[in-house]
C-alpha cells in the first residue's frame, strides 16, 4: 500500500489534533465538541485511506459494531 504525501500530511494534522485532544482530556477532564469532530474526521480518514472495513457474518451481512478488519488489499 502506498500513501501519498498529501495523505501523510492529512494524517500528520490528525495526529497533532489527537495529541491536543488527549492533552485537553488530561488537563481539563473535559472534551470539546470540536474535538469530537476531529476524532470523527480521523476515524473516517483511517477508514478510507487504510481500507478498514466492517466484518461480515457467515451470510455476508455487514457487522459494523464488531471490530473492523483490513479490507482486500488487491483493490
Tell me the C-alpha distance between 51 and 37, whole Å: 21
How do the domains of the chain map onto residue ranges?
5-70
Tell me the C-alpha distance between 33 and 40, whole Å: 11
Q: Give the model's pLDDT for residue 31.
A: 86
- Its pTM stands at 0.74
Q: What is the pLDDT along the chain (75 residues), one digit of tens a residue?
A: 788 999 999 999 999 999 999 999 999 998 899 999 999 999 999 999 998 999 999 999 999 899 999 888 544
Q: Give the model's pLDDT for residue 75.
A: 45
Amino acid at each position: 500500500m502506498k500513501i501519498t504525501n498529501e495523505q501523510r500530511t492529512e494524517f500528520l494534522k490528525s495526529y497533532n489534533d489527537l495529541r491536543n485532544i488527549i492533552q485537553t482530556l488530561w488537563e481539563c477532564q473535559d472534551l470539546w465538541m470540536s474535538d469530537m469532530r476531529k476524532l470523527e474526521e480521523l476515524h473516517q480518514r483511517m477508514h478510507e485511506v487504510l481500507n478498514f472495513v466492517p466484518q461480515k457474518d457467515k451470510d455476508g451481512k455487514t457487522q459494523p459494531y464488531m471490530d473492523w478488519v483490513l479490507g482486500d488489499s488487491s483493490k
